[in-house]
Amino acid sequence: MEQLQAVVETRSGYRLDPRTKLFLMAVVATAEFLYSHTAFMVAVALIPFVLLLTNRQYKTAIIFFCLFSAGLFVQAIQNSIQFHMVVNMLVVLLVGLVLRLFPAFVMGAYIIKSTTASECITALGRMHIGRQITIPLSVLFRFIPTMQEESAAIKDAMRMREVQFGTKKFWQNPAALIEYRFIPLMISVVKIGDDLSAAALTRGLDNPVRRTNITKVGFTGWDLITVLIAGTALIITYFFSPW
């Protein structure tokens, strides 16, 4: 499962404030409804593409580039070539998916790989979002990797006991497999949660004082430049399409 980073390894000089990222996400997600011209679509797709490059997510960027180009190509020819009904449906759906939803998904991939959990929490705090949201969200960030660890251990244990697909026991009661996988996971997560609550409370989680954060977030020139460039490109392509 996708999850914010604990530490971002590949940090270059270019960085955005998480609030800017959220804003750009909002722009990309809203643009989904506004698609008018191909040029505008390209401009929208370029936002996450360039951001991926700045965060050195080259592999994702290249895959996105290829898919998006292929999508544009198919869209350009689809009205001149008649496919078989079923193929057509699939092609149309896939192209639609790639062109319309992928920019937002890829933007999500960028945000997740470029933002640390504590940056996200700090930024939310700056946006005056209360502890009612920030505490559960931090706990969520902490528990997703924990659940992965626990789940891997349970999977090993199941294999060791040969509780798995295809065995005779399995065919007697296939649903039990899901039960064996999920129930111990939940039990151990609840137990970890109890310990964690105690430890967090002794360190003042319930303190009503306004929390401070050591993590540095803040707008820089990069945020301004990025928003200006992206904004200009979108407005120009939306209103004055060259094609």
Partner 1 sequence: MIELKDVSFTYESGETENSLKHINLTIHDGETTLFCGESGCGKTTLTRLINGLIPHYYAGKLDGKVLLDGKELKDYPLYQIGQRVGSVFQNPRTQFYNVDTTSEIVFGCENMGLPVSEMSKRLEETTKSLKIENLLNRSLFALSGGEKQKIACASADAICPNTFVLDEPSSNLDISSIKDLTEVIRQWQSENKTVIVAEHRLYYLAPYADRIIYMKRGEICNEYTREEFLELDPKELKKMGLRALNPFDLMPEKTPEANEKSLQIDNFWFSYEKRGYPIVNIPDLTLPQGEIIGIIGDNGAGKSSFARCLCGLDKSSKGTLKLNGNALNAKKRRHISYMVMQDVNHQLFTEDVLDELLLSMDGENEEEDKVRAQEILAGLDLSDKLKLHPMSLSGGEKQRVAIGSAVASGKEIIIFDEPTSGLDYRHMLEVSEKLIQLKEMKKTLFLITHDPELIYKCCTHLMFIEHGRILWHRSMDNEAVRLLQEFFSREKG
Partner 2 sequence: MENTNKLTGKDLINVGIYSAMTLVVFFVVGLLTALPVVYPFLFIIWPIVCGIPMMLYYTKIRKFGMLTITGIIGGIFFYLIGYGWIGLLGWFLGGLLSDIVLRIGGYQKFKVTVLSYACFCLGIMGCPANLWLAGDAYWENIHTSMGDQYANTLQSLMPSWMMYVGFALLFVGGILGALLGHKMLKKHFERAGIV
Residue with tokens 């992206």: 230
CB-based contact 149:97 (threshold 8 Å): no
Among 78, 99, 80, smallest CA distance to 36 is for 99
For residue 176, state whether it binds partner 2 (rule: CB under 8 A). Answer: no
- Nearest approach, Cβ of 140 to partner 2 (angstroms)? 5
Of 66, 73, 152, 182, the residue at the interface with partner 2 (CB under 8 A) is 182
Min CB(149)–partner 1 separation in Å: 7
Q: Under rule CB under 8 A, how many of the chain's residues touch partner 1?
A: 56
Tokens read off for 147 = 């659940």
Q: Which of residues 65-124 bind partner 1 (CB under 8 A)?
A: 116-118
Which residue in 18, 98, 150, 237 binds partner 1 (CB under 8 A)? 150
Q: Write out the binding residues for partner 1, residues 15-54 only, by CB under 8 A.
A: none
Binding partner of residue 150 among partner 1, partner 2, none, CB under 5 to 8 Å per kind? Answer: partner 1
Q: Which long-range contacts (CB under 8 A, 24 or more apart) does 70-77 make?
A: 70/98, 71/95, 71/98, 71/99, 71/102, 72/38, 72/41, 72/42, 72/99, 75/38, 75/99
Q: Number of C-alpha atoms within 13 angstroms, CB side, residue 143?
A: 18
Of 45-53, 71-79, 98-106, 184-192: span binding partner 1 (CB under 8 A): 184-192
78 lies in the binding site for partner 2 (CB under 8 A)? yes
